[in-house]
């Protein structure tokens, strides 16, 4: 197995260039990275084998492709055993596919054998564009997977995975052939986020604004992290009547706003802040933690026996809850640990005792008249979308300072886990609306897009003509697919931080700057006046 790795897919990549040693900054070991590379190579091989014979692809194969791509997203799967099993599944599928195909087309048995080193060793611009496609696909696979879990699928989304994997695997693809695929990844991801939005709303109801307590009540409890609302629903059902309370963590916070989940009285509140604080926040809680998706950090020995994973998440030594989602081991652990002996009044990073969530597109658009009137009357001078991932770098304080320094006549929309930097702040109200509106998880970028489109229609202008600035923080690959969606929609003047992706070559970056005016953040003092003058 390889002793060294090459990975540059996330924002915390070593020295801002690439993780190339025996382990990545995220804790992924070189042998795990090699297996993820092998898995990606096999998926590309499968897509190349399937080209022209897509009719033999089934929904089960599509789901496997999504699952495998999802397993390579940062902070999802660290388990070599599981990754080896996924590789076996893709190899078996490829063999079955080639058998079937050779029956129909004599002599055209595939002999493709792709190796990811072909990608890492290509010229820097080709590597950059193919990386944008690959990392965007990885992010989108997570959203497609969550929609699929709820029974929602879209053939155009599923089919695009193969098309894009073929583009990555194509040895002769030049920049002018790859650029349209980059933007198509954004277009298909918009469709995918719309699908997941519909899946969530039709299953759990439209999000409604809710105040969420940060107090953990006495007695046994379970903390559930990640993005998968279906896992939360199963956990809530299985813990009914047990005396166990449930607390969301990280990207699960917006779950409180869905009527179909909020109806459970033992869904009590939220525990902790964003993912990068988990090793300290979980160190001594008398309760188990269930991870349904990213971001899992390598659990410390002090709490390893209290961590559980499910679905695509896995870590060696962590108990995994299988497909049937029987959460009995988690429930037993909660009962044996017993929770706190008294109510514990935790606060957010800035000392707030509760946070608000649930301003999805239905909630915000129901107040559209108020917002439109306030903009017309000059009561709302500017709207900022300060959203995206959180992370460990000190430079991320920018986002806290930014919302604190934003003028009082500005409205701040937010989403994803970056909001934990400021979501417990009381920023007051404008025209009866809270100034800070949490739209939900990262995939709820779809809500932000819908709101922007509605405002543009109301003011009869383009999205870029609105008094709206996007201030995005990225960390992992879901942020990549969302960025590509914004580019596909022609959104300009996006401020990106805390650093620019290492996989953008100088030429690709120059193209993005010229065509979309993407800008790196600097300091709120310098950036805010420039944004307001736009």
**Segment near ligand SF3 (CB under 6 A); pick from 100-108, 200-208, 401-409, 470-478:** 470-478
Residue 476 touching ligand SF3 (CB under 6 A): yes
With helix as H, strand as E and coil as C, how does 286-355 read? CCCEEECCCCCCCCCCCCHHHEEEECCCECCCCEEECCCCCCHHHHHHHHHHCCECCCEECCCCCCCCEE
Among ligand SF3, ligand SF4, none, residue 250 binds (CB under 5-8 Å by kind): ligand SF3
Q: Name every residue whose Cβ is closer than 8 Å to that of residue 82 and which is 6 or more positions away in sequence.
A: 71, 314, 320
Q: According to CB under 6 A, which residues from 61 to 80 bind ligand SF3?
A: 75
Q: Tell me the closest approach of the beta carbon of residue 473 to ligand SF3, in angstroms.
A: 9
Q: Tell me the closest approach of the beta carbon of residue 476 to ligand SF3, in angstroms.
A: 5
Which residue's CB is nearer to ligand SF4, number 128 or number 257?
128
Among ligand SF3, ligand SF4, none, residue 435 binds (CB under 5-8 Å by kind): none
Q: According to CB under 6 A, which residues from 153 to 182 bind ligand SF3?
A: none
Helical spans, DSSP H, in 150-243: 155-169, 175-204, 229-239
Q: Beta strand 494-497 with 410-414: parallel, antiparallel or unpaired?
A: unpaired
**How far apart (Å, rounded) are the C-alpha atoms in residues 441 and 438?**
9
* Alpha-carbon distances, residue 301 vs 250, 293, 305, 421 (angstroms): 21, 21, 8, 27
Angle formed by the axes of helices 124-149 and 155-169, nearest 10°: 160
Q: Tell me the closest approach of the beta carbon of residue 348 to ligand SF3, in angstroms.
A: 16
Q: Name every residue whose Cβ is closer than 8 Å to that of residue 102 and which is 6 or more positions away in sequence.
A: 108, 109
Q: Tell me the closest approach of the beta carbon of residue 154 to ligand SF4, in angstroms.
A: 28
Residue 254 touching ligand SF3 (CB under 6 A): no
Among ligand SF3, ligand SF4, none, residue 9 binds (CB under 5-8 Å by kind): ligand SF4
Cα atoms in the Cβ-side hemisphere of radius 13 Å centred on 411: 28
Question: Is the backbone peptide bond immediately before 462 cis, with ω within 30 degrees of 0?
Answer: no
**How far apart (Å, rounded) are the C-alpha atoms in residues 44 and 65?**
10
Residue 294 touching ligand SF3 (CB under 6 A): yes
- From 83, 417, 470, 471, residue interacting with ligand SF3 (rule: CB under 6 A): 417
Query: Which residues contact ligand SF4 by CB under 6 A?
Result: 7-10, 12-13, 19, 24-26, 28, 74
Give exposure, 136-159, as e/b (b: 16+ Cβ within 10 Å): bbbbbbbbbbbbbbbebbbeebbe
Among ligand SF4, ligand SF3, none, residue 441 binds (CB under 5-8 Å by kind): ligand SF3
Q: Beta strand 221-225 with 382-388: parallel, antiparallel or unpaired?
A: unpaired
Q: Residues touching ligand SF3: how many (CB under 6 A)?
A: 17
- From 318, 389, 480, 519, residue interacting with ligand SF3 (rule: CB under 6 A): 389
> What is the enclosing helix (H) or strand (E) of 357?
strand 354-357
Residue 384 touching ligand SF3 (CB under 6 A): no
Which residue's CB is nearer to ligand SF3, number 226 or number 524?
226
Which residue's CB is nearer to ligand SF4, number 22 or number 515?
22
Q: According to CB under 6 A, which residues from 420 to 449 bind ligand SF3?
A: 441-442
Residue 478 touching ligand SF3 (CB under 6 A): yes
Q: Tell me the closest approach of the beta carbon of residue 275 to ligand SF3, in angstroms.
A: 5
CB atoms within 10 A of CB 299: 23
Q: Tell me the closest approach of the beta carbon of residue 26 to ligand SF4, in angstroms.
A: 3
**How far apart (Å, rounded) are the C-alpha atoms in residues 274 and 283?**
15
At CA 348, angle to CA 345 and CA 352, rounded to 5?
Answer: 75
Which residue's CB is nearer to ligand SF3, number 74 or number 98?
74
Which residue's CB is nearer to ligand SF3, number 313 or number 356?
313
Residue 321 touching ligand SF3 (CB under 6 A): no
**Segment near ligand SF3 (CB under 6 A); pick from 192-200, 316-324, 430-438, 475-483:** 475-483
Residue 313 touching ligand SF3 (CB under 6 A): no
Q: Collapsing DSSP states into helix, strand and coil, what is residue 113?
A: coil
Chain residues in the site for ligand SF3 (CB under 6 A): 75, 227, 250-251, 275, 294-295, 389-390, 416-417, 441-442, 475-476, 478-479
């Amino acid at each position: 197995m390889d002793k060294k790795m090459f990975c540059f897919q996330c924002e915390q990549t070593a020295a801002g260039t690439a993780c190339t040693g025996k382990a990545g900054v995220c804790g992924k070991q070189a042998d795990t990275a090699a297996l993820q590379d092998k898995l990606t190579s096999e998926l590309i091989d499968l897509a190349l084998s399937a080209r022209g014979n897509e009719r033999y692809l089934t929904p089960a194969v599509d789901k496997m492709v999504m699952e495998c791509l999802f397993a390579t997203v940062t902070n999802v799967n660290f388990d070599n055993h599981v990754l080896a099993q996924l590789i076996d599944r893709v190899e078996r599928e490829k063999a079955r596919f080639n058998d079937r195909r050779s029956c129909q087309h004599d002599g055209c048995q595939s002999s493709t054998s792709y190796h990811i080193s072909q990608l890492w060793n290509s010229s820097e611009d080709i590597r950059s564009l193919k990386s944008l496609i690959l990392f965007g696909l990885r992010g989108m696979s997570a959203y497609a997977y969550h929609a699929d879990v709820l029974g929602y699928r879209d053939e155009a989304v599923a089919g695009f995975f193969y098309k894009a994997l073929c583009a990555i695997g194509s040895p002769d693809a030049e920049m002018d052939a790859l650029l349209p695929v980059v933007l198509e990844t954004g277009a298909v991801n918009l469709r995918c986020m719309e699908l997941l939005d519909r899946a969530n709303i039709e299953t759990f109801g439209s999000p409604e604004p809710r105040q969420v307590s940060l107090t953990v009540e006495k007695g046994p409890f379970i903390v559930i992290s990640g993005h998968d609302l279906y896992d939360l629903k199963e956990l809530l059902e299985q813990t009914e009547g047990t005396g166990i309370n449930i607390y969301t963590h990280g990207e699960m916070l917006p779950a409180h706003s869905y009527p179909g989940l909020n109806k459970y009285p033992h869904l009590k509140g939220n525990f902790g802040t964003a993912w990068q604080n988990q090793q300290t926040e979980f160190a001594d809680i008398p309760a188990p933690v269930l991870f349904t998706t990213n971001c899992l950090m390598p659990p410390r020995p002090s709490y390893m026996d209290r961590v559980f994973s499910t679905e695509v998440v896995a870590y060696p030594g962590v108990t995994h809850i299988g497909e049937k989602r029987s959460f009995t081991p988690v429930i037993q652990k909660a009962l044996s640990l017993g929770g706190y002996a008294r109510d514990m009044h935790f606060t957010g990073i800035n000392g707030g005792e509760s946070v608000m969530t649930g301003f999805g597109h239905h909630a915000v658009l129901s107040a559209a008249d108020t917002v439109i009137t306030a903009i017309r009357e000059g009561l709302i001078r500017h709207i900022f979308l300060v959203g995206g991932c959180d992370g460990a770098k000190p430079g991320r304080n920018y986002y806290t300072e930014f919302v604190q320094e934003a003028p009082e006549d500005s409205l701040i929309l937010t989403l994803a886990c970056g909001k934990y930097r400021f979501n417990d702040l009381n920023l007051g109200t404008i025209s009866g609306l809270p100034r800070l509106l949490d739209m939900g998880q990262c995939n709820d970028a779809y809500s932000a897009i819908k709101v922007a489109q509605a405002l543009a229609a109301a003011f009869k202008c383009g999205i870029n003509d609105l008094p709206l600035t996007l201030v995005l923080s990225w960390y992992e690959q879901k942020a990549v697919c969302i960025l590509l969606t914004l580019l596909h929609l022609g959104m300009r003047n996006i401020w990106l931080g805390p650093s620019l992706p290492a996989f953008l070559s100088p030429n690709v970056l120059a193209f993005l700057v010229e065509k979309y005016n993407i800008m790196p953040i600097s300091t709120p003092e310098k950036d805010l006046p420039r944004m307001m003058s736009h």
